[in-house]
Chains A and B, each alone.
Chain A
Amino acid sequence: RKEVEQDPGPFNVPEGATVAFNCTYSNSASQSFFWYRQDCRKEPKLLMSVYSSGNEDGRFTAQLNRASQYISLLIRDSKLSDSATYLCSDGQNFVFGPGTRLSVLP
């Protein structure tokens, strides 16, 4: 069983829409997680960390649900520039999910 799982998508949403991704994990001992953004043929870039209290940064909100062992990323008012693959990883950055591809359409 994979330790971190994500729906690969693609999620195709219109500009201005709200979109949410989930990432499930199997290691119940993990205390924190990260969301990274990866553009096509580029390196991952750290988007935000996720701890028990959740995290919000502008249009982006990340939350952790320990009971169901998943983390979520919510993007409000999607922009064309949000089109990318979103990767989640465990707090140690030893395990990454396969990524969820988002396409924001004009």
Chain B
Amino acid sequence: DAGVTQSPTHLIKTRGQQVTLRCSPKSGHDTVSWYQQALGQGPQFIFQYYEEEERQRGNFPDRFSGHQFPNYSSELNVNALLLGDSALYLCASRDTGEWGYTFGSGTRLTVV
């Protein structure tokens, strides 16, 4: 049983560009959350999707947007990339009845 899968694993982008990161949740999971993790820090919550709608959002600007598809997979889009957006982006999923999340291995984004 595949866990949470994310693509790509690594990405290098230029400041000002746009990026799309993808996530397939663990089988049976319908809730997806995205996190940004800078080196040496804990994950910072970006937003959570359930039933194709954004349900909760952390303290991130509108440059960060997302989508959830009918098959529960999700995308994270970041526009107008800044150098400070360089981080590990983690996708996590859970079933509605659960509390703890299963994390994917992340996408490491470098903005140059």
Interface residues of A (CB under 8 A from B): 4, 6, 8, 32, 34, 42-46, 49, 87, 89, 91-99
Contact = CB atoms under 8 A, between A and B. Distances in A.
Interface of B: 33, 35, 40-45, 48, 56, 58, 90, 92, 99-106
Contacts, number: 48
Given A34-B100, A93-B92, A43 B45 contact: no
A98 B90 contact: no
Contacts of A87: 42-43
Contacts of A91: 99
B44 A42 contact: no
A42 B6 CA distance: 13
B80 to A, nearest CB: 25
A45 B106 CA distance: 12
30 contacts: A4-B42, A6-B42, A8-B40, A32-B99, A34-B99, A42-B105, A43-B90, A43-B103, A43-B105, A43-B106, A44-B43, A44-B103, A45-B103, A46-B100, A46-B101, A87-B42, A91-B99, A92-B56, A93-B45, A93-B92, A93-B100, A93-B101, A94-B56, A94-B58, A95-B45, A96-B35, A96-B44, A98-B40, A98-B42, A99-B42
Contacts of B92: 93
Given A46-B101, A98-B40, 8 more contacts: A4-B42, A32-B99, A44-B43, A87-B42, A93-B33, A96-B45, A98-B41, A98-B42
